Amino acid sequence: MADIIYKYKDSVYANITNKCNCSCTFCIRSLKDGIGSADTLWHTKNPTKEEVIDAIRNFDFDGFNELVFCGYGEPTCALDILLEAAKVAKEEKNLKTRLNTNGLGNEENKRNIVPELSKVIDSVSISLNAPDSLKYQEVTRPSYEGAFDKMVDFAKKCRDHIKDVKWSIVDVLPEEDIKRCQKLSEDTGIKLRIRHFS
């Protein structure tokens, strides 16, 4: 089995599923099998809830105060595992929890999952990837029609229920697109983080 818990830079991550409802043109999983301390993040079979929880319980988090749900799949595609694992991380390990997501969890689960997330997730980082629907479709290649608007709606719902919510983009975007993403950030009242592509 691939690593469930891995370290990358100064953070600890939980890789709970390889399922994803997007096929982003720049996705790191198309470039390498692992990242950080993980030789591979490709699960031969997606882990069970028990396996994820055991991995969290058995990991030494000394020196770390946060667990980030982000791996080689979209965490909200394994929502039941995400919710229970985040609860264990908070209650048993006294950790802050962050969700790195493509923002399509409501569509994936066919309901508004934000109230459930807000009980166990302290912060959310949503991959914006593009400033409008057409470019988002080209870059992210989501499984759903109208995905950009659904992702923006999810971000707004998170903003209203979770204290720390951010958009995230990678600095490979053209300068004009970055400016338009900054405008969307201002319009929605959601901070924008510009990450360096590595």
The domain of 74 spans 5-195
3-state class (DSSP) for residue 65: coil
* pLDDT tens digit sequence for 62-73: 999 999 999 889
Answer yes or no: are the C-beta atoms of 26 and 172 closer than 8 Å. yes
Model-level pTM? 0.93
| E strand or H helix at 67 | strand 66-69
- Give the helix ranges, DSSP H, for the chain: 49-58, 79-93, 105-109, 114-118, 133-140, 147-161, 175-188
Q: What is the DSSP string of 145-165?
A: TTHHHHHHHHHHHHHHH-SEE
CATH code of 132's domain: 3.20.20.70
| pLDDT in the model for residue 33 | 67
User: What is the rounded average pLDDT for all residues in the chain?
Assistant: 92
Work out how many domains the chain is built from and give that number.
1
Supply the pLDDT for residue 184: 96
Q: Once rounded to an integer, what is the mean pLDDT over residues 146-162?
A: 97
